[in-house]
């Protein structure tokens, strides 16, 4: 079935790092409004806005203390409403980040819940008695050694899958669920176009809360019995009544499990982020990547829709982590884009990716803000590890790699703010910035723009069958997408060396139409039955 959201390209706006209009060092919604023409120019359809609700901001807005009002740093409700209408005016859509596995510990619900054992909201969160004077079980949290935090006032522990400041809601409680549904309607009735649902598969917890054999492999936090009842209820009560797009953040899933969330007959969610790449593939691994793509393609084929992304606000920028951010930065950024936009699934562009922004290496832990990194650093140093070694081991995957401000131009602070930015600007902003990209017709930006625009005229990019012709190759990735008699051949050399390509029968491109290429001298008439592809070279032909 064809739908608007299957055909969309989504642009993720991490607003605090986007553009600051009042000099306080934080990007803000006014800044997003000011730069909407830039986003529109890229040609994307949907904007995913990271959380901008009232929050003490321990985890950059993922710790919400009031779902119905705006974080002061972001702006006012009036600004937000203007943002929505300006997005719509430009023919784009806006999806909001829905964080309902947990709230902030400053949320009035938690303040009440923690005040006494017989408070009517006690059951809004997950409270347990100590076991042998210790934690109720050995579960590890994403951002802390234990999911349990002891609260002296009532001599019980509460559960937090993330930081201590992010207590998990108790989804078993029907009143909690109704409160959440009401809040979702509040935003939907304002006219938003959908939700990105934060760690949505964590809502249901393992019954009985048993200790596990290997607490470090935290997959027991997700995909537990009951989760699909919650999502089907959410769909019935809220989602199905609106023409929206929903994308679930769903760690630890196989395609079989994934289909239970996004199967078109399931009435749960439209699409998902699985993390077989971003969480489980630390550095580039071509054959593994192909294996993941093939398995997900087969698993969801004709039944559900995948998403394609290699970075976001939690994961190091793709050109640094999975590509080449040095000599071949531009070619590599374009190759990765070619891949993401031609593999089956909805493509996501994380702000700054479209100009090939890179990760960072700051000098000291004090330059970092990421609560995941800081907590892990403290945990390891407290255990007695060498601080410098711990620091260095955390650099590559620090979430701040992707959170540095957008580099607008080569002026002070990359033109992001007139004040002091909440996190340092990447020092390479003099070379890599939006102003430069917009002035150069061969920039990464215009390559993205072209890829996105050809998607609009070519349903083969969206609905085409996928076939890999290069399964075992460590460097080359050669695949086709086919739809209604049209076949596109995608050829990628994901390596720093020349690679000899030999195309099998039926794949010759002689005289065939070149759709796009990331080396300027490729024009499309040549036969490349056997040819050498240059480092990070990417081409698409219609054959
Ligand atoms: O992320 C979930 C999370 O823990 C990710 O860091 C993880 O790498 C992966 O994406 C899922 O396995 C979400 C938000 O994106 C993140 O910013 C928040 O800190 C977190 O939830 C808690 O709300
Ligand atoms: Ca600001």
pLDDT of residue 527: 64
Kindly provide the b/e burial profile for residues 15-37, where b requires at least 16 CB atoms within 10 angstroms of the residue's own CB. bbbbbbbeebbbbbbbbbbebbe
pLDDT of residue 79: 98
Ligand 1 close to Cβ of residue 45 (< 6 A): no
- What number does the ligand 1 atom closest to the CA of 99 have? 23
- What number does the ligand 1 atom closest to the CA of 371 have? 19
Helix, strand, or coil (residue 476): strand
The torsion angle over the Cα atoms of residues 538, 539, 540 and 543, rounded to 10 degrees, is: -140
Q: How far apart are CA 104 and CA 168, in angstroms?
A: 9
- What number does the ligand 1 atom closest to the CA of 63 have? 23
Ligand 1, atom 23: nearest CA belongs to which residue? 62
199 CA distance to ligand 1 middle (Å): 7
Q: What is the average per-residue pLDDT within 171-195?
A: 98
What backbone phi and psi angles, to 5 degrees, belong to 517?
-150, 150
Q: What ipTM was predicted for this assembly?
A: 0.96
What backbone phi and psi angles, to 5 degrees, belong to 366?
-70, -20
pLDDT of residue 30: 98
Dump pLDDT digits (tens) for 307-344.
Answer: 999 999 999 999 999 999 999 999 999 999 999 999 99
Q: What is the average per-residue pLDDT within 356-380?
A: 97
Tokens of 349: 């562009």
Dump pLDDT digits (tens) for 247-300.
Answer: 999 999 999 999 999 999 999 999 999 999 999 999 999 999 999 999 999 999
- What number does the ligand 1 atom closest to the CA of 163 have? 22
Average pLDDT, the chain: 97
Tell me the pairing of strands 156-159 and 148-151: antiparallel
pLDDT of residue 503: 85
Name the pLDDT band for 71 (thresholds 50, 70, 90): very high
For residue 530, the cross-strand partners are: 502
pLDDT of residue 530: 65
Report percent pLDDT > 90 for the chain.
95
Report percent pLDDT > 70 for the chain.
99
Helix, strand, or coil (residue 22): coil
| Nearest-5° Cα angle at 308, 303 to 311 | 150
pLDDT of residue 510: 81
Domains of the chain: 7-101+195-362+406-449 (3.20.20.80), 108-159 (3.90.400.10), 363-403 (no CATH), 465-542 (2.60.40.1180)
Helix, strand, or coil (residue 227): helix
Q: How far apart are CA 326 and CA 309, in angstroms?
A: 21
Dump pLDDT digits (tens) for 224-235.
Answer: 999 999 999 999
25 CA distance to ligand 2 middle (Å): 6
Ligand 2 ion: residues within 5 Å (CB): 20, 22, 24, 26, 28
Ligand 1 close to Cβ of residue 19 (< 6 A): no
pLDDT of residue 185: 98
Ligand 1 close to Cβ of residue 59 (< 6 A): yes
Closest to 425 (Cα-Cα) out of 411, 438, 443: 411
Q: What is the average per-residue pLDDT within 35-39?
A: 98
Which ligand is located closest to the Cα atom of residue 402? 1
pLDDT of residue 364: 97
Dump pLDDT digits (tens) for 493-541.
Answer: 999 999 998 888 788 888 889 999 999 988 776 667 667 899 999 999 9
Strand extents, DSSP E, 269-325: 271-273, 307-308
Q: What is the average per-residue pLDDT within 113-120?
A: 98
Catalytic center residues: 198, 249
Ligand 1 close to Cβ of residue 479 (< 6 A): no
pLDDT greater than 90 at residue 211:
yes
Q: How far apart are CA 100 and CA 195, in angstroms?
A: 11
pLDDT of residue 235: 98
């Amino acid at each position: 079935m064809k739908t608007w959201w299957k055909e969309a390209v989504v642009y993720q706006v991490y607003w605090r790092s986007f553009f600051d209009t009042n000099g306080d060092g934080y990007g803000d919604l006014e800044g997003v409004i000011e730069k909407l023409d830039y986003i529109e120019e890229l040609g994307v359809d949907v904007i995913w806005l990271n959380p901008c609700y009232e929050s003490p901001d321990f985890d950059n807005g993922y710790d919400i203390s009031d779902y119905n009002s705006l974080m002061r740093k972001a702006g006012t409700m009036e600004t937000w409403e203007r943002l929505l209408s300006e997005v719509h005016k430009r023919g784009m859509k806006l999806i909001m980040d829905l964080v309902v596995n947990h709230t902030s510990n400053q949320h009035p619900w938690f303040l009440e819940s923690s005040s006494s054992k017989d408070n009517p909201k006690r059951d809004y969160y997950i409270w347990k008695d100590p076991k042998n004077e210790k934690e109720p079980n050995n579960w590890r949290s994403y951002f802390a050694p234990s999911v349990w935090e002891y609260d002296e006032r009532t001599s019980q522990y509460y559960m937090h899958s993330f930081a201590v400041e992010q207590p998990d809601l108790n989804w078993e409680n029907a009143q909690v669920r109704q409160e959440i549904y009401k809040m979702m309607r509040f935003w939907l009735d304002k006219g938003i176009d959908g939700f990105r649902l934060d760690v949505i598969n964590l809502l249901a917890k393992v019954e009985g809360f048993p200790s596990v054999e290997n607490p470090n492999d935290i997959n027991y936090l997700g995909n537990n019995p009951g989760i699909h009842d919650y999502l089907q209820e959410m769909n019935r009560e809220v989602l199905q009544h609106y023409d929206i797009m929903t994308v679930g953040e769903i760690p630890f899933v196989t395609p079989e499990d994934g289909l239970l969330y996004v199967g078109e007959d399931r009435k749960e969610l439209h699409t998902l982020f699985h993390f077989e790449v971003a969480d489980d593939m630390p550095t580039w691994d071509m054959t593994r990547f192909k294996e993941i793509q093939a398995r997900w393609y087969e698993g969801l084929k004709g039944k559900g829709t995948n998403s394609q992304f290699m970075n976001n606000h939690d994961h190091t920028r793709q050109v640094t982590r999975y590509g080449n951010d040095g000599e071949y930065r531009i070619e590599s950024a374009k190759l990765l884009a070619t891949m993401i936009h031609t593999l089956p699934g909805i493509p996501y562009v994380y702000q700054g990716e479209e100009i090939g922004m890179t990760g960072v290496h700051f000098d000291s832990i004090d330059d970092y803000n990421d609560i995941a990194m800081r907590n892990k650093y403290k945990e390891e140093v407290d255990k007695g590890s060498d601080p410098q070694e711990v620091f260095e081991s955390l650099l590559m995957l620090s979430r701040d790699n992707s959170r540095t401000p957008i580099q607008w131009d080569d002026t002070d602070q990359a033109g992001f703010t007139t004040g002091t930015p909440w996190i340092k600007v990447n020092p390479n902003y003099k070379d890599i910035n939006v102003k430069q990209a917009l002035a150069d017709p061969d920039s990464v930006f215009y390559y993205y723009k072209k890829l996105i625009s050809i998607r609009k005229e070519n349903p083969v990019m969206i609905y085409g069958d996928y076939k890999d012709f290069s399964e075992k190759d460590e460097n080359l990735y050669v695949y086709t997408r086919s739809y209604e008699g049209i076949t596109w051949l995608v050829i990628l050399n994901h390596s720093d060396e020349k690679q000899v390509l030999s195309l099998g029968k039926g794949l010759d491109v002689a005289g065939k139409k070149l759709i796009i290429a990331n080396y300027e001298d490729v024009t499309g008439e040549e036969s490349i039955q056997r040819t050498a592809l240059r480092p990070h070279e990417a081409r698409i032909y219609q054959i």
